């Protein structure tokens, strides 16, 4: 697996993003990038379970031990992931979708465990932010081959969702999920190989099913904003705001260095 050094986002792909809210780049990650992200995922699961052990619980927020895990991976804590977060692939995609300015807002592993992995309800990622904001851009990276059987993402394009705007979401008390779409459209499943990257707006509806296979289903979502997100009521910054692009350049990014090897994750 090797990404073309001349990777670019075509005009047709940009048009599809404007019309439907997403672009799919199949087999986009290099073998080194994929291995680094997979190593980081193992460390992230260990972090979640250590906190559960300390609290004497098997459920923490939307994390369910042995079923599904959602764990942030900050570049300070996962230095080997910096080359993915702030690399040329991300920069090229963001310039074509988000624009010339970009901040790293969040990077989070999502894991569904074998046989018992829970589903995740229809939602827009913007539904979890809690106040008005410009849509963010998510780079969802498949760390395993994705199938309907192992709970891959299902997307609902703008043209079928009937909106490209954020809509109200409701809390599911059983799973702590937020749900924003209640229609009958099942969406389009992403049946793709490990190393595929999906770039999508935070106003695109997506869901995922349970994992009915023996193996884990792993992915990481890397999310970027045009500017830091500030809660208008409290004045507080939400999550991260790590500079990446400014006028299309990376001069102010604090993590663009030679960096450590993947073994340091």
CATH of the domain at 160: 2.60.120.620
- Asked whether residue 5 is assigned to any structural domain, the reply reads no
Average pLDDT over residues 190-215: 94
Contact yes or no for 65/49 (Cβ under 8 A): yes
- Asked whether residue 175 is assigned to any structural domain, the reply reads yes
Render pLDDT for 177-194 as a digit per residue (tens, 0 to 9): 888 888 999 999 999 999
Render pLDDT for 60-119 as a digit per residue (tens, 0 to 9): 887 888 888 989 999 999 999 999 999 999 999 999 999 999 999 999 999 988 866 567
- Asked whether residue 185 is assigned to any structural domain, the reply reads yes
- Asked whether residue 12 is assigned to any structural domain, the reply reads no
Amino acid 262: pLDDT = 36
Rounded CA-CA distance 163/150 in Å is 28
Amino acid 177: pLDDT = 81
- Asked whether residue 189 is assigned to any structural domain, the reply reads yes
Render pLDDT for 10-38 as a digit per residue (tens, 0 to 9): 999 999 999 999 999 999 999 999 999 99
C-alpha count within 13 angstroms, C-beta hemisphere, residue 39: 15
Dihedral through CA 9, CA 108, CA 34, CA 6, nearest 10? 20
Number of domains in the chain: 1
By the 10 Å C-beta count (0-12 exposed, 13-18 middle, 19+ buried), 6 is classed as: exposed
- Asked whether residue 37 is assigned to any structural domain, the reply reads yes
Global pTM exceeds 0.85:
yes
- Asked whether residue 13 is assigned to any structural domain, the reply reads no
- Give the residue numbers spanning the domain of 194: 23-264
- Asked whether residue 18 is assigned to any structural domain, the reply reads no
Where is pLDDT greater, at 256 or 95? Answer: 95
């Amino acid at each position: 697996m090797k990404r073309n050094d001349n990777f670019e986002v075509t005009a047709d792909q940009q048009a599809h993003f404007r019309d439907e809210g997403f672009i799919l780049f199949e087999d986009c990650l290099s073998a080194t990038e994929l291995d680094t992200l997979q190593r980081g995922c193992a460390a992230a699961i260990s972090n979640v379970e250590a906190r559960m052990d300390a609290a004497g619980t098997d459920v923490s927020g939307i994390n369910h031990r042995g079923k599904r895990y959602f764990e942030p991976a900050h570049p300070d804590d996962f230095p080997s992931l910096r080359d993915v977060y702030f690399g040329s692939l991300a920069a090229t995609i963001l310039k074509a979708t988000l624009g010339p300015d970009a901040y790293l807002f969040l990077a989070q592993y999502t894991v569904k465990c074998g046989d018992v992995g829970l589903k995740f309800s229809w939602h827009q990622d913007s539904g979890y932010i809690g106040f008005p904001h410009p849509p963010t851009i998510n780079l969802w990276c498949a760390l395993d081959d994705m199938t309907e059987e192992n709970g891959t993402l299902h997307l609902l394009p703008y043209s079928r969702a009937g909106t490209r705007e954020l809509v109200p979401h409701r809390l599911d008390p059983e799973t702590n999920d937020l749900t924003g779409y209640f229609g009958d459209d099942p969406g389009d499943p992403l049946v793709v190989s490990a190393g595929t990257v999906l770039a999508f707006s935070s106003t695109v509806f997506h869901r995922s099913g349970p994992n009915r296979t023996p193996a884990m289903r792993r992915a990481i979502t890397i999310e970027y904003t045009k500017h830091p997100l500030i809660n208008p009521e409290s004045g507080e910054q939400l999550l991260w705001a790590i500079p990446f692009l400014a006028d299309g350049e990376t001069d102010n990014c604090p993590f663009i260095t030679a960096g450590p090897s993947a073994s340091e994750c």
